[in-house]
Amino acid sequence: MGTPDRTAAAHRVMRQDDNGNRFPVARGLTRPAAEAMAAEFEARGHKQLYWIEPDDADPAAR
């Protein structure tokens, strides 16, 4: 997976499991780094849903 780019912290990668629980996977990433990480997890074929959002967003409000 490589080292995440945290130089312009702005986004995080989120995951939702089969039961609807949402968890942060990584925080403080640039948008391209977050997109790449989410795409890598999606490519693994897991049933979970992965997405990115601004790192200042409140996960409980979603």
Confidence category of residue 61, pLDDT binned at 50, 70, 90: very low
Segment 43-47 shows an average pLDDT of: 81
- CA-based nearest residue to 18, from 50, 46, 44, 48: 48
Q: Which of 7-11, 12-16, 17-21, 24-28 has the lowest mean pLDDT?
A: 7-11
CB 32 within 8 A of CB 6: no
Confidence category of residue 58, pLDDT binned at 50, 70, 90: low
The chain-wide mean pLDDT, for the chain, equals 84
CA distances from 44 to 28, 53, 54 (A): 23, 20, 24
